[in-house]
Amino acid sequence: MMRTESEIISEPRGKFIPQQLTKRFLMALPEGVYLVSSVADDEFRPLFEQYITKAGPAREMQWEAVKKAGADQRRCLVFRTKHDWIEFYPRIGSPRL
């Protein structure tokens, strides 16, 4: 089930939201959240990770970057901040900083 913007904003600090990374989902995310692909490369780095930009052409460019990375239509995690992602990551390895 896709979360609404208000549900994402109200999530407790550090809680992640797993979701399929579709264009519709990306376009619905609030500006400033941190999006991380659940799929990693050979070195266990996410295929895509970025703060979400404001809506408009920049967000469209972000979607193109998601597709180029091969992260579209795959699972992703949404965090309120990159710091929340870094705190979460030790459960599965070390983040690329």
Q: In terms of DSSP H, where are the helices of the chain?
A: 5-9, 23-28, 57-69, 82-88
Least confident of 35-39, 66-70, 88-92: 88-92
| Residue 63 reports pLDDT greater than 50 | yes
Nearest Cα to Cα of residue 36 among 23, 19, 54? 19
| Residue 91 reports pLDDT greater than 80 | no
Question: What pLDDT, on a 0 to 100 scale, did the predictor assign at position 44?
Answer: 83
- Average pLDDT of the chain? 82
pLDDT (mean) for 46-53: 95
Question: What pLDDT, on a 0 to 100 scale, did the predictor assign at position 3?
Answer: 56
Number of Cβ within 10 Å of residue 37's Cβ equals 22
Kind of pairing between the strands at 49-51 and 17-20: unpaired
Name every residue whose Cβ is closer than 8 Å to that of residue 18 and which is 6 or more positions away in sequence. Answer: 38, 75, 76, 77
Question: What pLDDT, on a 0 to 100 scale, did the predictor assign at position 97?
Answer: 44
Residue 62 CA to its chain's centroid (Å):
11
| Residue 95 reports pLDDT greater than 60 | no
Please tell me the pTM assigned to this model. Answer: 0.77
